Structure formats: structure tokens, C-alpha cells
A = this chain, B = another copy of it.
Amino acid sequence: MERKQQFRDYLLTQGLKSTRQREIILDAFLQSGGHLSTEELYLQIRQQHPGIGYATVHRTLKLLAGSGLAESRHFGDRQTRYEQCSGEDHHDHLICTACGAILEFEDGDIERLQQRVARQHGFHILSHRLELYGRCAKCGPE
């Protein structure tokens, strides 16, 4: 519920308006977990709200990313995916190339070593992306 308010506040600060469509898309996004493509969310919303267009879903997902409610992800394929992000926390991904499963993990030790690498190169990290591709426990080591 405060998520929804966070989005409305963001729209206000940007001089944008709350609309019926944006509320519907936000609701659908918050309900469905996981790593959704625009297409996937659009198809799901269309079942209950056939009037809402693809472009509006696309534009709203970008707004959600701007508001900090969603984060965009780019895995192997070409399409952008979005997932909910809860403020400060960060996580990376294990991706099974056999069944497509996506596991999430956090590892403070790795993040610290990333900072060390950055320091060694005089680099200031703003974000990062770590993806481990392979086979999940269910699919076995090939």
C-alpha cells in the first residue's frame, strides 16, 4: 500500500498524473513477482483490462523503474525484464541455462571485493551486474 503511495509521490514530483491505467499496471506489477518482460505483463493485464495498450504498459514500467519501485534487468536474451526492488537491498542472479530458472543471491564478500577492484583502477562504482550461468540443482551438472 505504501508502495502505491511511493509511486504517486514520484509522479507528483515529476509533474506527472495518476491515471486509472497506471494504477492498474502498478497493481498487476506488484502482485506478480519474478522477472517480467513488458510482453508478459501486458498479456496478463489484458485478461482483465483489454483496453490497456502495450505502449502504456511499456511506458509505465519505465516510470516504475524511475520511481525506484522496479529495476530493469537484461539477461541473455534481448528483452528487458523488470522486477520489484525494495529500496536498499540488492541481489544478483544464478540463471539455469537448461530450465530457465532464476535464483537470487546476495554476497557481501563479493561486493567488497568489487570495491577493491574498483579502487585498484581508480574507478567509482555506481552499479554492477553479476550473473552466474549454469545448471541448477534440479537439472544436474550435465
Interface residues of A (CB under 8 A from B): 74, 76, 78, 94, 96-97, 103, 105, 107, 109-110, 113-114, 116-118, 120-137, 140-142
Contact = CB atoms under 8 A, between A and B. Distances in A.
Describe A's contact surface by its main secondary structure: mixed
Contacts of A122: 136-137
Contact of A133 (B103, B128, B140): B128
Contacts of A113: 107, 109-110, 113
Contact of A129 (B78, B103, B121, B131): B131
17 contacts: A74-B74, A94-B118, A105-B120, A110-B110, A113-B113, A118-B134, A122-B136, A123-B136, A124-B141, A124-B142, A125-B133, A126-B134, A127-B133, A127-B134, A128-B131, A129-B130, A130-B130
Nearest to A142: B124
A121 B133 contact: no
A76 to B, nearest CB: 8
A121 B105 contact: yes
